[in-house]
Structure 1
């Protein structure tokens, strides 16, 4: 009988990949059970017991019966995270500065200088015309 060591390596790698994939799915199911707000505590306990006692069957049944809502919860969580990032960026960036805002601020400063007596009426009018042109 001929020995195929590369084939053994391939099967070992495939088994390892499937094992990691199953562990990922197991943890995904367990986290989804806890973040699901539409299940009662008793239902959550039942799913956890099923997944622990019969892990392959429990995960398979959970994905069959609750896979669609699991995907919806993932999308909702991603949407909330995206909105939180966008809100943070908006707050960190501050209000948008426009050319009109800078002209208004400059006119307000000129009016303050005139009111304080630092500018004469003629200087104020020249600066205002220069700013608005």
Structure 2
């Protein structure tokens, strides 16, 4: 008897965990409209097991991507130059010097970029 009660408790806890994951994924998804989110939640309330199963099958791969994006593990989509992303301080300083020579930045801004590039070398920031 105790074993069956324990097994039933495990299944209920696992199902609640899955429902919480689905609801958090629904609200994390920016592409899904509010009406569709409401429909998914209504089906989760009235046909819970089947809806959870269909959701995981239909939208499971997107769940992992949205969870990783929420944790901040995604790579930026642009390949633009970011001083903090450069591994070589000499390149940072050379690019800043080009901007100074072109008149895009002032001497003070060049000095700030130079000190930041040199700081990145020693602190890995």
TM-score by length of 1: 0.53
CA drift of 1:24 comes to 0.5
Provide closer, same or farther for how the CA distance between residues 65 and 97 of structure 1 changes in structure 2, counting only shifts above 3 A. closer
Query: Partner of 1:10 in structure 2?
Result: 3
- TM-score, with normalisation over the residues of structure 2? 0.56
Task: Quote how far apart the aligned CAs of 1:12 are.
Answer: 1.2
2:38 to 35, 40, 45: 45
Q: Structure 2 unaligned segments of length 5 or more: list them.
A: 75-83, 85-115
Higher relative contact order (CA closer than 8 Å, sequence separation 6+): 2
Question: Aligned Cα RMSD in Å?
Answer: 2.3
Is 1:28 the counterpart of 2:21? The answer is yes
Higher helix share: 1
Shift of 1:97: 8.4
Q: 2:121 & 2:48 partners in 1: Cα distance?
A: 58
For the residue of structure 1 that corresponds to 2:32, the secondary structure is coil
* Equivalent of 2:62 in 62, 69, 75: 69
Per the TM alignment, residue 79 of structure 1 is displaced from its structure 2 partner at its CA by 2.8
